[in-house]
């Protein structure tokens, strides 16, 4: 078993705290390049900014296996400087507007500190409606200046709490951390192709061209998926929780962008059972991963997705369990070691 | 003038929700001790610092009240390891989803601070229609990241939940954080006491960090009764202007404090403050506070047989949210104005405070 120690936690913290809104993934890209350089056979930054890493195996008859995790996160872009430190902004990706008011943000390359303010309760007469985006500004302080087109993210810093981790960008830095760890423990029976892809949150763009480039025999998207395992407050049973924290890696069967390859689903399930690694099936339903874009590359790629569950998707603070991270990493590691070209026959 | 920023940052990093002010009171007392002749606590927990004047006994006295309590939340129920919460003081629940908090947990063998976050449950887990609009406070939950078992061992009903946003220095000497209402005024009063170290003053000065302003105004009421000052000044925050807010209920940051006019304020004291500020070239805005000033002045005015009161306020944006913003310059000016006012009080000033001067 690969364990999660101080070193892995430190790397995840660094990855999570870096701002990397879709289209502006530079800070995470730099961390990834630094981490992979001494383990990879080939490293390429492609036309869109994804980091594509190849690690060749040594055996005969090796399958070409692509693993994908996305570097980008949801965030904001400055759209106007209204003077006196106030800036209007747009949302990049999907963020529920109810998560905006009263939050700290960091803006631009220099991480300028700012806040998304809102009218005080004393001056508000009706609090039943949502605070809409068009009534909000990022306040950078009296002389604060940001340029139109600069990106911003929530300022939340990575935290540990008991068995959990709290961060703004678990989706999908936890996948990035897993890919880096798998490269460091790359099995020799396969050619490992790692896509640290861009622009997942705004249309699975990086993965699409990465899959074309790698031309893999099969691919696994490693992402983070919502756990809606909260108590119901409507006298009904919570039957659509998607996943639950603490129940291990979530194996996908079907979602809005893909029906996962049944052979790969079964293979992951067998691997988990054989290795006694806890796992859960993500409840089939909406949502999607880069697998949707990879599947259609060239003449087609058999795909499956595996996610680390997190609560509070695309909010200032998501929560995941370290054990789910560890079990996802080990399920993938065990699976990679068992892959042969026969798997897909 | 000393740099108040480090003290201000420590003031907004320490706990002290209404009626649970002891941690912040201890911090303020340590800071004030060298600046005053004696300190004490009231029966309701307010911190009193007395700096004696040079006049002959019995001397007149001025009470300067800055409330030190902060709004926050409290645990009402625990379900499957998630905390239900209610408010202490006035909070717009719409700023809460995604807010980092600290739970002052008392359920275990010793008190401990647990990090957490206020979360908005998905719509399908709420009653029909409740999940599509702003989610009401009663449906919001706190997730500590701990297992259900750990939560039940460590958290209890009635435990406090406080905002946990870190202090941030922004451009233009603006500072952001929670609880700047009213720790910004505590900082201003501290500057006043520092300035008075090198200024002579005839009157006694009672620097008071009051409790429970956000819930009952009880600290100021009882301290004013106990101290029976000749006059009292409430220093609080007022609404700072930001986009989307009108310009008659809000005030620009960085343009000095506001001086209030209204029923809680003795007109003579207002006049004296306004004249002094003009003389010192300290910018200020006039704040109309008809009927209620929303400050400790409301109850101090009514203590015992009545006390002439004044209200001075520091503009602050986004009041009662986790990201309040103030301008350091306004805090400094408020502190200086208070010190100059105290120093200007002559032995017979109290007799001059009259209604309807001819």
Q: Work out the average pLDDT over B227-255.
A: 96
Question: Which residue spans within chain B are E strands per DSSP?
Answer: 38-41, 47-51, 61-67, 72-79, 82-88, 100-105, 112-119, 141-143, 160-163, 168-170, 174-177, 204-210, 231-239, 258-261, 285-288, 309-316, 324-327
Identical topology for domains B5-70+178-352 and B72-163: no
Q: Work out the average pLDDT over A2-7.
A: 96
Contacts of B249 in chain A (CB under 8 A): 123
Q: In what order do the strands lie in the sheet with A218-226?
A: A42-45, A51-55, A190-197, A63-70, A218-226, A303-310, A250-251, A280-281
Contacts of A121 in chain B (CB under 8 A): 90-92, 319-320
Predicted confidence (pLDDT) at residue A125 exceeds the cutoff of 90:
no
Of B190, B181, B175, B236, which Cα lies nearest the Cα of B9? Answer: B175
Instruction: Give exposure, A91-111, as e/b (b: 16+ Cβ within 10 Å).
Output: bbbebebbbbbbbbbbbbeeb
Question: What's the pLDDT tens digit per position in B26-65?
Answer: 999 999 999 999 999 999 999 999 999 999 999 999 999 9
Are B128 and A165 a contacting pair, CB within 8 Å?
A: no
Question: What's the pLDDT tens digit per position in B249-291?
Answer: 999 999 999 999 999 999 999 999 999 999 999 999 999 999 9
Predicted confidence (pLDDT) at residue A69 exceeds the cutoff of 90:
yes
pLDDT confidence of residue A17: 98
Q: Which residues pair with B204 in a beta bridge?
A: B61
Q: Work out the average pLDDT over A10-37.
A: 98
pLDDT confidence of residue B358: 67
- What does the alpha-carbon distance between residue B64 and residue A326 come to, in Å, rounded to a whole number? 57
Is A170's Cβ below 8 Å from some Cβ in B?
no
Beta carbons of B115 and A166 less than 8 Å apart: yes
Q: Work out the average pLDDT over B293-310.
A: 97
pLDDT confidence of residue B2: 67
- What does the alpha-carbon distance between residue A295 and residue B64 come to, in Å, rounded to a whole number? 70
- Kind of pairing between the strands at B82-88 and A86-92: unpaired
Chain-centre distance for alpha carbon B195: 21
DSSP B268-333: HHHHHHHHHHHHTT---EEEE--S--SSTHHHHTTSTT---EEEEEEEEBSTTSTTEEEEHHHHHH
- Kind of pairing between the strands at A318-321 and B168-170: unpaired
Cα dihedral across residues A314, A315, A316, A321: positive or negative: negative
Is A97's Cβ below 8 Å from some Cβ in B?
no
- Chains A, B: CB pairs < 8 Å: 207
Is A120's Cβ below 8 Å from some Cβ in B?
yes
Predicted confidence (pLDDT) at residue A344 exceeds the cutoff of 90:
no
- What does the alpha-carbon distance between residue A291 and residue A306 come to, in Å, rounded to a whole number? 10
Contacts of B141 in chain A (CB under 8 A): 230-231
Domains of chain A and CATH, by start: 6-73+168-344 (3.40.630.10), 75-154 (2.40.30.40)
Where do the structural domains in chain B lie, given as residue ranges? 5-70+178-352, 72-163
Instruction: Give exposure, A196-235, as e/b (b: 16+ Cβ within 10 Å).
Output: bbbbbbeebbbbbbbbebbebbbbbbbbbbbbbbbebbbe
Question: Cis before residue B182, ω within 30 degrees of 0?
Answer: yes
Active-site position among B213, B214, B287, B340 = B213
Q: Work out the average pLDDT over B100-125.
A: 96
Average pLDDT over chain A reads 97
- What does the alpha-carbon distance between residue B148 and residue B155 come to, in Å, rounded to a whole number? 10
- What does the alpha-carbon distance between residue A297 and residue A207 come to, in Å, rounded to a whole number? 9
Are A256 and A286 a contacting pair, CB within 8 Å?
A: yes
Provide the chain B residues 62-91 that lie in CB contact (below 8 A) with chain A: 79-80, 82, 90-91
Which of A233, A240, A286, A322 is the best mutation test for B, with the most CBs of B within 10 A?
A233
CA distances (Å), origin B94, targets A119, A128, B123: 11, 9, 15
For the beta carbon of residue A309, count every other beta carbon within 10 angstroms: 31
The CATH class of the B72-163 domain is mainly beta
Contacts of B139 in chain A (CB under 8 A): 233
Is A137's Cβ below 8 Å from some Cβ in B?
yes
Q: Work out the average pLDDT over B54-78.
A: 97
- What does the alpha-carbon distance between residue B287 and residue B262 come to, in Å, rounded to a whole number? 9
- What does the alpha-carbon distance between residue B62 and residue B206 come to, in Å, rounded to a whole number? 6
Provide the chain B residues 262-301 that lie in CB contact (below 8 A) with chain A: 294
Residue B213 annotated among the catalytic residues of the structure = yes
Which of B87, B125, B140 is the best mutation test for A, with the most CBs of A within 10 A?
B125
Are B146 and A164 a contacting pair, CB within 8 Å?
A: yes
Q: At what angle do helices B328-344 and B180-195 cross, to 10 degrees?
A: 50
Question: What's the pLDDT tens digit per position in B343-352?
Answer: 999 999 999 9
Percent of chain B with pLDDT over 90: 98
Beta carbons of A130 and B91 less than 8 Å apart: no
Report the number of secondary-structure helices (H) and strands (E) in chain B: 9, 17
Banded model confidence at residue B210, pLDDT cuts 50, 70, 90 = very high
Name, in order, each residue with C-beta under 8 angstroms of B57's C-beta and a sequence gap of 6 or more.
none
- What does the alpha-carbon distance between residue B261 and residue B324 come to, in Å, rounded to a whole number? 25
Active-site position among A27, A200, A215, A270 = A200
pLDDT confidence of residue B124: 93
Banded model confidence at residue A202, pLDDT cuts 50, 70, 90 = very high
Q: Which residues pair with B209 in a beta bridge?
A: B47, B66
pLDDT confidence of residue B357: 72
Question: Cis before residue A37, ω within 30 degrees of 0?
Answer: no
Of B310, B298, B317, which Cα lies nearest the Cα of B337? Answer: B310
Question: What's the pLDDT tens digit per position in A298-323?
Answer: 999 999 999 999 999 999 999 999 99
Closest partner residue to B82 (CB to CB) among A141, A154, A230 is: A230
Beta carbons of B144 and A161 less than 8 Å apart: yes
- What does the alpha-carbon distance between residue B113 and residue B105 come to, in Å, rounded to a whole number? 6
To which CATH superfamily is domain B5-70+178-352 assigned?
Zn peptidases (3.40.630.10)
Q: Work out the average pLDDT over A233-237.
A: 94
Cα dihedral across residues B219, B221, B226, B229: positive or negative: positive
Provide the chain A residues 246-265 that lie in CB contact (below 8 A) with chain B: 246
Average pLDDT over chain B reads 97
| Max intra-chain CA distance, chain A | 72
DSSP B44: T
Instruction: State ipTM.
Output: 0.96
CA distances (Å), origin B227, targets A30, A68, B222: 63, 70, 9
Are B202 and B49 a contacting pair, CB within 8 Å?
A: no
- Kind of pairing between the strands at A138-139 and A159-161: unpaired
- What does the alpha-carbon distance between residue B258 and residue B70 come to, in Å, rounded to a whole number? 21
Are B151 and B81 a contacting pair, CB within 8 Å?
A: yes
Element (H, E) at B5: helix B5-11
Element (H, E) at B220: helix B218-227
Is B122's Cβ below 8 Å from some Cβ in A?
yes
Closest partner residue to A161 (CB to CB) among B146, B176, B327 is: B146
Which of B145, B176, B324 is the best mutation test for A, with the most CBs of A within 10 A?
B145
Nearest CA in chain A to B146: A162
| Max intra-chain CA distance, chain B | 73
Rounded to two decimals, the pTM is 0.96
pLDDT confidence of residue A257: 87
């Amino acid at each position: 078993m690969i364990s999660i120690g101080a070193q892995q936690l430190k790397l995840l913290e660094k990855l999570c705290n870096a701002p990397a809104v879709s289209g502006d993934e530079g800070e995470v890209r730099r961390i990834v390049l630094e981490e992979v350089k001494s383990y990879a056979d080939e490293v390429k930054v492609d036309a869109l900014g994804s980091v594509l890493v190849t690690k060749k195996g040594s055996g005969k008859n090796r399958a070409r296996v692509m693993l994908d995790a996305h570097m980008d996160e949801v965030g904001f872009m400055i759209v106007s400087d209204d003077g006196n430190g106030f800036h209007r902004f747009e949302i990049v990706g999907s963020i529920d507007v109810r998560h905006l008011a009263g939050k700290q943000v960091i803006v631009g390359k220099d991480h300028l500190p700012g806040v998304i303010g809102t009218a005080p309760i004393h001056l508000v007469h009706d609090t039943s409606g949502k605070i809409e985006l068009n009534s909000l500004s990022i306040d950078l302080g009296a002389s604060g200046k940001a340029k139109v087109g600069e990106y911003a993210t929530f300022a939340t810093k990575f935290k540990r709490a008991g068995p959990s981790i709290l961060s703004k960008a678990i989706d999908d830095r936890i996948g990035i951390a897993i890919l880096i760890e798998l490269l460091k423990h790359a099995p020799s029976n396969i050619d490992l192709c790692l896509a640290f892809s861009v622009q997942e949150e705004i249309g699975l763009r990086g993965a699409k061209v990465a899959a074309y480039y790698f031309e893999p025999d099969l691919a696994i998207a490693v992402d983070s998926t919502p756990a809606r395992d909260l108590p119901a407050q409507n006298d009904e049973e919570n039957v659509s929780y998607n996943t639950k924290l603490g129940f291990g890696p979530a194996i996908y069967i079907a979602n809005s962008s893909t029906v996962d390859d049944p052979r790969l689903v079964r293979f992951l399930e067998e691997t988990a059972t054989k290795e006694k690694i806890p796992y859960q099936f993500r409840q089939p339903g909406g949502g999607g991963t880069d697998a949707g874009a990879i599947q259609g590359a060239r003449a087609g790629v058999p795909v499956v997705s595996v996610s680390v569950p997190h609560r509070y998707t695309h909010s200032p603070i998501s929560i995941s369990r370290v054990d789910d991270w560890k079990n996802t990493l080990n399920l993938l590691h065990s699976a990679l070691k068992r892959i042969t070209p026969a798997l897909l026959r | 003038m000393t740099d108040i920023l480090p003290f201000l940052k420590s003031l907004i990093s320490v706990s002290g929700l209404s009626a649970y002010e002891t941690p912040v009171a201890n911090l303020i007392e340590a800071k004030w001790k060298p600046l005053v002749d004696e300190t004490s606590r009231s029966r309701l927990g307010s911190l009193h610092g007395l700096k004696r004047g040079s006049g002959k006994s019995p001397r007149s006295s001025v009470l300067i009240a800055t409330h030190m309590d902060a709004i926050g939340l409290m645990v009402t129920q625990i379900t499957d390891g998630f905390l239900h919460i209610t408010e202490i003081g006035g909070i717009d629940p719409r700023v809460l989803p995604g807010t980092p908090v600290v739970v002052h947990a008392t359920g275990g063998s010793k008190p401990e601070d647990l990090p957490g976050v206020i979360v908005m449950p998905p719509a399908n887990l709420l009653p029909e229609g409740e999940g599509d609009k702003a989610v009401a406070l009663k449906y919001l939950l706190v997730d500590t990241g701990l297992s259900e078992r750990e939560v039940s061992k460590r958290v209890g009903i009635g435990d406090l939940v406080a905002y946990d946003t870190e202090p941030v220095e922004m451009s233009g000497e603006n500072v952001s954080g929670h609880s700047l209402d009213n720790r910004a005024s505590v900082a201003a009063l501290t500057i006043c006491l520092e300035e008075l170290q090198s200024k002579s003053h005839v009157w006694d000065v009672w620097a008071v960090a009051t409790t429970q302003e956000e819930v009952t105004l009880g600290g100021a009421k009882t301290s004013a009764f106990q101290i029976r000052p000749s006059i009292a000044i409430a220093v609080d925050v007022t609404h700072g202007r930001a986009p989307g807010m009108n310009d008659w209920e809000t005030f620009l940051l960085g343009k000095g404090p506001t001086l209030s006019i209204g029923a809680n304020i003795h007109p003579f004291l207002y006049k004296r403050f306004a004249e002094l500020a003009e003389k010192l070239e300290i910018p200020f805005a006039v704040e109309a506070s008809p009927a209620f000033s929303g400050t400790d002045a409301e109850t101090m005015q009514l203590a015992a047989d009545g006390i002439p009161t004044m209200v001075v306020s520091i503009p602050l944006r986004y009041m009662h949210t986790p990201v309040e913003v103030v301008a350091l310059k306004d805090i400094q000016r408020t502190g200086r104005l208070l010190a100059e006012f105290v120093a200007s009080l002559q032995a017979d000033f109290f007799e001059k405070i009259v209604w309807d001067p001819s």
